[in-house]
Amino acid sequence: MWLSKSHRVLPGFHVGLGYTVTILTLLLILPLIACLFKVATLTPEQFFAAVWTERARAAYLLSFGASFVAAVINVAIGLLLAWVLVRYEFWGRRFLDSLIDLPFALPTAVAGLVFSSLLVKQGWYGQFLVPLGIKGAYSQLGIIIVLVFVGLPFVVRTVQPVLESLEGDTEEAAAMLGANRWQTMWRVLLPALQPSLMTGFALSFARGLGEYGSVIFISGNMPRKTEIAPVLIVARLEQFAYAEATAIAVVLMAMSLVSLALVNWLERRSRRYAP
């Protein structure tokens, strides 16, 4: 039986709801409304001409494509790192665990500068990769690398608590029933980890879509080649085309919301059918 409003276990619902709505209105809803009002100063023809040029389409494709590839890589690497940190005891484990959070505290501009210096032809990595035809600095590959760096902690910190909650008895039972390590991973562990992996993927993907600081130092910002959508928005602002820049931002926001809604739907679906 439902409790009446006067007999709630935790009082203060109306006050808390009021603060929540106020904060969301001031920090989220009103800025979005301001963006829409700014875009409304453009005619439909001007809006389409601003947001759907060849340069803009290339920037959208690169932003979403690089973020998607980086998120997929982060899921694979993050699962491995979380597995090692949870399942094994070794010297330096706590130090390695603390390093996972470094991208959270490190300014992303520093990450872009470091990776660009490492991947140029004379860099520590570039002197071996460039002769092989692998160009990291000022390329789409470099963008993916820095997006992997900034998004990796989201996957590790999402999967790690779930792995800690899974007892080793399950794996031992699977082994006793004749399952090898790959069968245990695919049929026992991954179904239980699927919801957390989807959450980590969504967080990493969203982080990549909004990344700016690290990308501008390693991408070269070449239109139609290595220019992401946030950089294009800044370029329009530098040209004092504020309405056009806002229009691109609104389109990017709408595409991001659709992508994240799809990922969240897949996440809820995986939770529903998780064992």
Number of structural domains the chain divides into: 1
Is residue 34 in some structural domain? Answer: no
Range picked from 28-32, 150-154, 219-223, 250-254 for highest mean pLDDT: 150-154
Place 275 in a pLDDT band, splitting at 50, 70 and 90: low
Burial class of residue 233 in the structure, from the number of CB atoms within 10 Å of its CB (0-12 exposed, 13-18 middle, 19+ buried): buried
Is residue 237 in some structural domain? Answer: no
Residues in the chain: 275
Residue of higher predicted confidence among 119 and 5: 119
Is residue 214 in some structural domain? Answer: yes
Mean pLDDT of 82-86: 90
pLDDT in tens, 163-192: 888 776 676 677 777 777 777 777 778 888
pLDDT value of position 273: 58
Is residue 192 in some structural domain? Answer: yes
Is residue 13 in some structural domain? Answer: no
pLDDT value of position 73: 96
Q: What is the CATH number of the domain that holds 184?
A: 1.10.3720.10
Is residue 203 in some structural domain? Answer: yes
pLDDT in tens, 155-164: 999 999 988 8
Q: How many whole angstroms separate alpha carbon 188 and alpha carbon 172?
A: 11
**For the whole model, what pTM was predicted?**
0.85
Is residue 55 in some structural domain? Answer: no
Residue 3 has pLDDT above 50, yes or no: no
Residue 1 has pLDDT above 80, yes or no: no
| Domain housing 138 | 64-227
pLDDT value of position 2: 46
Q: What is the DSSP secondary structure assignment for residue 121, as one 8-state letter?
A: T
Where are any strands of DSSP class E within the chain?
none
Q: Which of 164, 116, 172, 118 is nearest to 139 (CA)?
A: 116
Mean pLDDT of 85-106: 88
Listed as own residue / partner, the contacts of 98-105 with beta carbons closer than 8 Å and 24 or more positions apart are: 100/152, 100/153, 100/156, 100/157, 101/153, 101/157, 102/153, 103/149, 103/150, 103/151, 103/152, 103/153, 104/153
Average model confidence (pLDDT) across the chain: 85
Place 271 in a pLDDT band, splitting at 50, 70 and 90: low
Residue 235 CA to its chain's centroid (Å):
23
pLDDT value of position 64: 92
Is residue 223 in some structural domain? Answer: yes
Place 221 in a pLDDT band, splitting at 50, 70 and 90: confident
Place 274 in a pLDDT band, splitting at 50, 70 and 90: low
